[in-house]
Structure 1
Amino acid sequence: MTTDQDRLLKLEETVAHQSRVIEELSDQLAEQWKIVEQMRFKLDRLVERFVNLEEQALEAPAITKPPHY
């Protein structure tokens, strides 16, 4: 038969375990957020470069005849 003290000990163990798991998950989430922010920054830079290249391509004059004609 379990006593109140046994039940309390079991609850304390459960809370300690859950606290540890929550802390680990929080650390993992913080690390993943850093990675997401780095990827967002890189994506923004790539979009900017792509837009610049697109603008340069549109500014180039169209070649109507090859230069040797």
Structure 2
Amino acid sequence: MSEVKHLSERIDALESRLMYQDDTIETLNQTITEQWQQIDALKRQIAAVSERLSEAEANARPPSERPPHY
């Protein structure tokens, strides 16, 4: 009977670890999903800033031209 009790305790311990691991995996999955959403948002912001910078560079005066206040 002692062996059955020992096996039952081992199974209980394994089930407990499995539940803990499932919870950890779900938490990590949620965290990764949130991070990818943030990364996507940052990529869009970088693309917008890059586009604005390109437009500003295209509209900039050439360096040899004197500013209008001279």
Normalized against structure 1, the TM-score is what? 0.82
Equivalent residue number for residue 37 of structure 1: 40
Give the secondary structure class of the aligned counterpart of 1:3: helix
Give the Cα separation in 2 of the matches to 1:64 and 1:48: 25
Which 4+ residue blocks in structure 1 deviate beyond 4 angstroms?
58-61
Give the Cα separation in 2 of the matches to 1:13 and 1:64: 74
Aligned length: 66
Q: Pick from 6, 9, 34 the counterpart of residue 6 of structure 1.
A: 9
Alpha-carbon shift at residue 16 of structure 1 (Å) = 0.6
Unaligned runs of 5+ in 2: none
Equivalent residue number for residue 21 of structure 1: 24
Unaligned runs of 5+ in 1: none
CA RMSD of aligned residues (A): 2.4
Equivalent residue number for residue 56 of structure 1: 59
Normalized against structure 2, the TM-score is what? 0.81
Give the Cα separation in 2 of the matches to 1:59 and 1:24: 54
Give the Cα separation in 1 of the matches to 2:67 and 2:29: 61
Structure 1 residues 64 and 34, CA, compared in 2 at 3 Å: closer, same or farther? closer
